[in-house]
A and B are shown apart, each in its own frame.
Chain A
Amino acid sequence: MGKFILRRLGISLIIVFLVSLFAFSLMHILPGDPARLALGEEASEEDVQALREELNLDKPLPVQYWLWIKGLFTGDMGYSIIYNRSVKEMLTEKIPRTLSLGIPSLIISSVLGITFGVLSAIKRGKWIDQLITFLATLGAGTPVFWIGIILMYFFGVKLRILPISGWTSPAVDFTKYVRQALMPVFCLSLHLTASISRQTRANMLDVVNQDYIRTCRANGINERSVIFRHALRNTLIPIITIIALQIRQVIGGSLMVEQVFNIPGIGLMVKQGIMGRDYLVVQSSVLIISLVTTVCNVFVDILYGLVNPQIRKSWG
Chain B
Amino acid sequence: MDKNMRKSAFRNTLRVFFARGPIVIICSVIVLLFFFAAIFAPILTPYTETQQDLLNTFAKPSGTHLFGTDSLGRDVFTRILYGARVSLITSLISSVLALVVGSFLGMVAGYLEGAVGQLIMRITDAQLSLPPLIVSMTLATALGGGIWGVSIVIAISILPTYVRMVNGLVLTIKNNDFVVVAPLVGQTSFQVLYKHLFPNCFPSLIVLFTMNLGGAIMLESSLSFLGIGITAPVPAWGSMVSDGYQYLFKAPSLAIVPGIFVMLTVIAFNIVGDSLRDSLDPRLRGKL
Contact = CB atoms under 8 A, between A and B. Distances in A.
Contacts of B45: none
A278 B138 CA distance: 12
Contact of B259 (A30, A149, A274): A149
A30 B143 CA distance: 8
Interface residues of A, number: 53
A149 B255 contact: yes
A149 B246 CA distance: 11
Contacts of B135: 22, 26, 286
A146 B263 CA distance: 9
B131 A137 contact: no
A280 interface: no
A196 interface: no
Contact of A248 (B131, B142, B245, B266): B131
B134 A138 contact: no
B286 A206 contact: yes
Given A30-B141, A137-B267, A22 B125 contact: no
Interface in B95-154: 122-123, 125-135, 137-139, 141-142
A35 interface: no
B131 A252 contact: yes
A143 B221 contact: yes
Interface string A277-297: 000001000100110011001
B256 to A, nearest CB: 7
Contacts of A271: 134, 137, 226
Nearest to B225: A145
B130 A248 contact: yes
B252 A153 contact: yes
A19 B125 CA distance: 9
A286 B130 contact: yes
Contact of B134 (A141, A202, A252): A252
A18 B286 contact: no
Interface of A: 11, 14-16, 18-19, 22-23, 26-27, 29-31, 137-138, 140-147, 149-150, 152-153, 157, 199, 202-203, 205-206, 245, 248-249, 252, 254-256, 259, 267, 270-271, 274-275, 282, 286, 289-290, 293-294, 297
8 residue pairs, one from A and one from B, having the closest CB atoms: A202-B286, A146-B259, A252-B131, A141-B267, A18-B126, A141-B266, A293-B129, A290-B129
